[in-house]
């Protein structure tokens, strides 16, 4: 007996032992594997001249056996050799369906397991024993793989004259709570197939036995068994929208393993025109665990007249909508289309352009109709939209600007830019924003304080991309974006000018001491409770300096800093006194105030030890 790989074993254990209610999906998983296997046969026949694809030869058959308590799932697909079985069935982590982060997370949410596919292993949801007979197309011998669960599996040559793959599930014993026998009933199987696998392109057959009058007799009945095809074989995207419920769409999303959550939104597009196509698109309900890693690949499934030609067609989605999942089916694409050709395919470009608009509209609709849900969506994927605004030199800002939302001082919730502008007070010149590491910090910052005091709304930027995106936008609805630090209340400028004159000596002395650290020291009447603050002049803000310096290639970018001083603060009185009376005390104070301003801005202190010593010295 071979052991499953440790990872596989752990997951298998978890899955089998979880309080998993939706175990009927095992059938969906096995049927979709069978369908994939037939697809592979179909591809092969496209390139292999010795193979002809005769549609009638390809089907999936489900056979329950009430006496033996088994369900058999057979397909006439490509099959597997010993190595395939070893690699594909022996290592659960190999499954492309494996989509979750940590064990802890799974344990927290057993429901989740029912939502996503663990593919082949879902057989163990209902089976105590799984036997797989398979022969790879073209091979002389077949093999048999057997497993009774987490313990491991055996693999042996099998004297099978089967075509494709046959999986025999021996159902678990019934318990007080669980009745597995229902899966032996034709009507249950029919219901499950209809629910999850109706659109599978190959016939899914079941033998149905009915009592019928014996031929030539008037009162004698006999049992007649005939093969029935259960699925309609019409892909969901070719069905009429009016026939489909939300549940159908969500089922399809799960069946396709697009995600294991409830999608935020879905849309069904049918276009007849220059280029005809059907598409079903989803905005996933949560961020995929690998979303921000290089492993994440965007793309939609691409079908040509119902046949899958590409798993993840990247060209159908712009990067800023890379979270969208779904399928596109078009009759206007050539089946043998290669990746290179696709890139320049005019039809495909048209479809992609169209879809971009559809997605934008769908998100706009969500924002309008359910802002709370949109906020959830934005918390999951908003960063991507903001990167989209920033990337390609702002080429996509028109598409994206109305989809942006930011936290704001207005009722402490998110707001769209349109709503912000709508609320702007008379004479308000700009859309003001304040950035920082956290909301807490921004709200308490000197810049924010002054704006709020003046009755202006402030957007709070906590995401490192925010300010970059806004710099790219420059304006919204003809209103300029301005950092809070640039805000001057009426009369401030004149007052500051005067103070700069009056306290020239003090500021000059401070400036000399802080040379190389700040460009200048100035009076600022916008400071209320803070004695000092750091602001920036020019294109690069302090937040941007932080972001750029955190990047691997960063380190050299400096914002041009200005130390603003609140001349109405008691601290300033002390500073003034020291400047004329006690030079060394003045130097200590200047250093401490400068570093304090850095701290408030979320910058590091250059020499923490010296800073600490200076404070101590000031205290004694
Ligand atoms: P996934 O289908 O998500 O990759 P599964 O655990 O369902 O993961 O299946 C693992 C692999 O085993 C498949 O990718 C396929 O290569 C192989 N496989 C499973 N069932 C069949 C089948 N009926 N015929 C041929 N190959 C199969």
pLDDT tens digits for 533-560? 998 887 888 888 888 877 776 667 788 8
Separation of 135 CA from ligand 1 center, angstroms?
Answer: 14
Separation of 263 CA from ligand 1 center, angstroms?
Answer: 25
Asked whether the predicted pLDDT for residue 102 surpasses 70, the reply is no
Separation of 547 CA from ligand 1 center, angstroms?
Answer: 44
Contact present, 539 and 467 (Cβ < 8 Å): no
Mean pLDDT, residues 112-123: 58
Between 588 and 115, residue with greater pLDDT: 588
Separation of 330 CA from ligand 1 center, angstroms?
Answer: 26
Q: Which helix (H) or strand (E) holds 70?
A: strand 70-75
Nearest atom (ligand 1) to Cα of 75: 23
- Length of the chain equals 620
Residue of 25, 32, 33 best suited for mutating to test ligand 1, as the one with most atoms within 8 Å of CB = 33
Which pTM value belongs to this model? 0.69
Token digits for 327?
């399928």
Nearest to 138, CA basis, from 58, 54, 81: 81
Mean pLDDT, residues 77-94: 80
What sections of 514-569 are H helices per DSSP? 542-550
Separation of 33 CA from ligand 1 center, angstroms?
Answer: 5
Mean pLDDT, residues 40-61: 82
Nearest to 27, CA basis, from 135, 180, 148: 180
Between 160 and 251, residue with greater pLDDT: 251
Q: Which helix (H) or strand (E) holds 594?
A: helix 583-600
The pLDDT tens digits for 18-33 are: 545 578 878 988 998 8
How much is the pLDDT for 469? 94
Between 440 and 485, residue with greater pLDDT: 440
Mean pLDDT, residues 192-212: 89
Is residue 504 packed enough to be buried (19+ CB in 10 Å), middle (13-18) or exposed (0-12)? exposed
Separation of 569 CA from ligand 1 center, angstroms?
Answer: 72
Residue 228: beta bridge partners?
A: 206
Is residue 129 packed enough to be buried (19+ CB in 10 Å), middle (13-18) or exposed (0-12)? middle
Asked whether the predicted pLDDT for residue 338 surpasses 70, the reply is no
Asked whether the predicted pLDDT for residue 513 surpasses 80, the reply is yes
Nearest atom (ligand 1) to Cα of 73: 23
Nearest residue (CA) to ligand 1, atom 10:
88
Separation of 141 CA from ligand 1 center, angstroms?
Answer: 19
**In the block, residue with structure tokens 């899914």:** 204
Nearest residue (CA) to ligand 1, atom 7:
119
Confidence of residue 572 (pLDDT cuts 50, 70, 90): very high
- The strand pair at 265-271 and 277-283 is best described as antiparallel
3-state per-residue secondary structure call for 7-42: HHHHHHHHHHHCCCCCCCHHHHHHHHHHHHHHHHHH
Token digits for 586?
């003045």
- 101 vs 348: CA distance, rounded Å: 34
Q: Which helix (H) or strand (E) holds 98?
A: none
Contact present, 60 and 99 (Cβ < 8 Å): no
* CA 467 and chain centroid, separation: 23
CA dihedral 527, 528, 531, 532 (to 10 degrees): -20
Nearest residue (CA) to ligand 1, atom 8:
95
Between 63 and 254, residue with greater pLDDT: 63
Separation of 474 CA from ligand 1 center, angstroms?
Answer: 51
- 292 vs 348: CA distance, rounded Å: 27
Q: Which helix (H) or strand (E) holds 593?
A: helix 583-600
Instruction: Name, of 98-102, 191-195, 322-326, 535-539, the range with top average pLDDT.
Output: 322-326
**CA atoms within 13 A of residue 544's CA, in its CB half-sphere:** 19
**How many CB atoms sit inside 10 A of residue 520's CB?**
16
CA dihedral 354, 282, 402, 547 (to 10 degrees): -110
- The DSSP 8-state label assigned to residue 424 in this structure reads P
Nearest to 186, CA basis, from 227, 145, 240: 227
Averaged confidence pLDDT in the chain: 86
How much is the pLDDT for 105? 43
How much is the pLDDT for 588? 93
Residues 6+ apart with CB under 8 A from 444: none
Percentage, residues of the chain above pLDDT 70:
89
Asked whether the predicted pLDDT for residue 467 surpasses 80, the reply is yes
**In the block, residue with structure tokens 């006194």:** 577
Residue of 36, 72, 85 best suited for mutating to test ligand 1, as the one with most atoms within 8 Å of CB = 36
Nearest to 464, CA basis, from 548, 395, 389: 548
How much is the pLDDT for 416? 97
Nearest atom (ligand 1) to Cα of 167: 23
Nearest atom (ligand 1) to Cα of 98: 3
**How many CB atoms sit inside 10 A of residue 170's CB?**
17
Tell me the backbone φ, ψ of residue 431, rounded to 5 degrees.
Answer: -90, 115
Residue of 83, 92, 93, 120 best suited for mutating to test ligand 1, as the one with most atoms within 8 Å of CB = 120
Token digits for 355?
């879809």
- 76 vs 526: CA distance, rounded Å: 77
């Amino acid at each position: 007996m071979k052991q499953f790989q440790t990872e596989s074993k752990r997951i298998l254990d978890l899955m089998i032992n979880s309080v998993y209610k939706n175990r009927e999906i095992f059938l969906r998983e096995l049927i979709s594997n069978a369908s994939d296997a037939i697809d592979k046969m179909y591809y092969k026949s496209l390139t292999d001249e010795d193979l002809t694809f005769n549609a009638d030869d390809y089907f999936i058959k489900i056979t329950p056996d009430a006496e033996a308590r088994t369900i058999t799932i057979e397909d006439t697909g490509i099959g597997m050799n010993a190595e395939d079985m070893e690699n594909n069935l022996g290592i659960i982590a190999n499954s492309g369906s494996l989509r979750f982060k940590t064990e802890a997370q799974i344990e927290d949410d057993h429901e989740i397991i029912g939502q996503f596919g663990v593919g082949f292993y879902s057989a163990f949801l209902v089976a105590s024993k799984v036997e797989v007979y398979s022969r790879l197309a073209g091979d002389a011998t077949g093999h048999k793989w057997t497993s009774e669960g987490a313990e491991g599996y055996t693999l042996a040559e099998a004297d099978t004259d089967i075509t494709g793959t046959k999986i025999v599930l021996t159902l678990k014993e019934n318990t007080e709570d669980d009745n597995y026998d229902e899966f032996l009933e034709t009507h249950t199987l029919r219901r499950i197939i209809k629910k999850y696998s109706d659109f599978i392109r190959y016939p899914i057959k079941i033998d149905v036995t009915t009592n019928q009058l014996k031929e030539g007799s008037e009162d004698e009945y006999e049992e007649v068994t005939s093969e029935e095809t259960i699925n309609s074989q019409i892909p969901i995207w070719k069905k009429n929208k009016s026939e489909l419920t939300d549940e159908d769409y969500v089922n399809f999303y799960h069946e396709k393993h697009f995600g294991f959550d409830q999608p935020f939104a879905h849309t069904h597009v049918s276009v007849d025109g220059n280029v005809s196509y059907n598409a079903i698109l989803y905005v996933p309900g949560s961020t995929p665990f690998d979303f921000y890693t290089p492993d994440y690949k965007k793309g939609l499934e691409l079908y040509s007249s119902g046949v899958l030609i590409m798993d993840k067609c990247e060209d159908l989605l712009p990067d800023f909508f890379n979270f969208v999942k779904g399928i596109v089916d078009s009759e206007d694409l050539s089946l043998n289309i290669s990746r290179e050709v696709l890139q320049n395919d005019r039809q495909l470009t048209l479809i992609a352009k169209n879809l971009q608009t559809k997605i934008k509209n769908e998100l706009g609709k969500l924002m309008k109709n359910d802002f709370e849900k949109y906020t959830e969506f934005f918390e999951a994927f908003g960063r991507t939209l903001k990167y989209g605004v920033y990337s390609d030199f702002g080429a996509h800002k028109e598409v994206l600007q109305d989809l942006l939302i930011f936290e704001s001082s207005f009722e402490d919730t998110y707001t769209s830019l349109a709503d912000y502008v709508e609320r702007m007070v008379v004479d308000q010149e700009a859309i003001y924003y304040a950035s920082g590491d956290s909301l807490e910090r921004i709200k308490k910052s000197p810049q924010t304080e002054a704006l709020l005091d003046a009755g202006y709304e402030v957007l709070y930027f906590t995401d490192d991309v925010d300010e970059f995106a806004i710099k790219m936008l420059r304006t919204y609805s003809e209103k300029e974006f301005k950092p809070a630090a640039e805000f001057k209340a009426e009369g401030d400028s004149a007052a500051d000018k005067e103070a700069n004159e009056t306290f020239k000596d003090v500021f000059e002395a401070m400036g000399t001491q802080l040379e190389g650290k700040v460009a200048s020291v100035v009076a600022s009447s916008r400071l209320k409770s803070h004695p000092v603050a750091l602001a920036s002049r020019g294109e690069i803000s302090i937040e941007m300096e932080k972001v750029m310096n955190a990047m691997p290639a960063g380190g050299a970018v400096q914002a041009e800093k200005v130390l603003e001083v609140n001349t109405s603060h008691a601290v300033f009185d002390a500073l003034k006194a020291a400047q004329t009376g006690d030079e060394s005390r003045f130097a200590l104070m200047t250093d401490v105030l400068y570093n304090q301003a850095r701290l408030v801005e979320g910058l590091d202190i250059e020499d923490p030890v010296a800073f600490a010593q200076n404070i101590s010295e000031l205290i004694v």
